[in-house]
Amino acid sequence: MKYLFLSLVLGLALASQAQRPTAKPVPRPATQRAEGQPARYAQLDQTAHQLPETHATTLDQLAAALAAHARTDDDKARLVFAWIAYHIAYDVASLQGRTPPHVTAEQALATRRAECQGYAELFTALARRMKLPAETVVGYAGGEQTGPVRPVLGPDRAHAWNVYLTPSDAHLADACWGAGWVSEDEFTPAFDAFWFNTPSDQAIFTHWPADAEWQLLAAPVDSLTFRRWPYIAASWFTLGVSGSSMRQGLAPAKGNAVCPPLPRACAPPHEVRIVQVPRQAAFVVGQPVTFVFRVGPGIEVGLEGDGRVLPAEARGEYRRLTVTPAAGAAPRIVTWRRADSTKLSVVLEYYVAPVLRRAGPFRSGGLDSVRYLRR
């Protein structure tokens, strides 16, 4: 899956932001996702999704209609995020240069289409009309590195998202990535709540602001480090990996080399959390690797390969599995409900490389030595 990002030149986005008359609020670091109100969020999401079109003809009208359902600033932010994610489609024609881009809030609302700048500007416009301080943040999106680190981040990686303030904290939101994705020149709607109030220590792997202040981190990440990182899907964090442990496992490589790619991570429908897994996507033939997961009641984990599934050893709520990769295998970590072992869900996908590069950051030796401890 390829997440969306804007192909507009970053300078234009910065210029657009500079023309705004509202003063920039001072961000306060937020590193933890608010928990404990999934039922409230579900109610707000449904309200935003089903809001009649007759209530969304102008920015003022839409902001008033959404605000009528909000009890707190957090409610306001969630309603704005959900309405945009459900009602604005990514403008593929603009991305491909076939039509002019919709980069203003008014254009996004009128056409119900936008690139990421339009999504972010619409969020800002609606939030401010609801007395919720918000800013459009411009910067760059993370992407998978397959060669030498680029000297600079180019316009093909330019992106825009939002910071909004509640009385207690500063928060990150990306309604564009929360709306769906583009694959094979087609937009696929898929509401993704991960990109609402995303912890700053998780967002930094894919959202690097041009202004370091908007990282909302005590220790900002420099451009070179960001460019060395592989693409890190949000699935890693929904599987229980903390931002700090991920960052430790992706220590900057020496020279001009990039970090090895991570295995593809998926978010299964079962309660599964990573305790220890191999970080590199490529296994070395004959070199044992170990997996440890924590699972919910009635959930099992195993390794699928060559048409067979090797169940992990059960140790209470933990599942442990040590395997020695063989040539030609295509290993996948899968999970299933004990009551129905025929329905497998993929957690992680690896591949086997007979020879792993022996120079630079790809040097083998302890592929399972990186531990992603659950926070």
Query: In sequence order, what E strands does the chain have?
Result: 89-90, 113-114, 134-141, 158-166, 169-173, 180-183, 186-189, 196-198, 207-209, 264-265, 272-276, 282-284, 289-295, 299-305, 308-311, 313-315, 318-323, 332-337, 340-349, 351-353
pTM of the predicted structure, to 2 decimals: 0.83
Q: Residue 327 burial (CB < 10 Å; 0-12/13-18/19+)?
A: exposed
In the chain, what is the straight-line distance between the N-terminal and C-terminal CA atoms, in Å?
27
- pLDDT at position 358: 37
- Give the model's pLDDT for residue 25: 58
pLDDT along the chain (375 residues), means of 10: 38 38 54 69 98 97 98 97 97 89 93 96 98 97 66 80 94 97 89 96 96 95 89 93 89 65 91 93 89 97 90 96 83 94 93 55 31 27
How high is the pLDDT of residue 36? 55
Per-residue model confidence (pLDDT) at position 283: 87
Domains and CATH numbers, the chain: 10-231 (3.10.620), 234-375 (2.60.40.10)
Give me the pLDDT at residue 187, please: 94
Nearest to 95 by CA among 191, 182, 164: 182
pLDDT at 271: 96
DSSP string, 132-156: --EEEEEEEE-----SSPPSS--GG
Q: What is the pLDDT of residue 305?
A: 84
What secondary structure letter does DSSP report for 77?
Answer: H
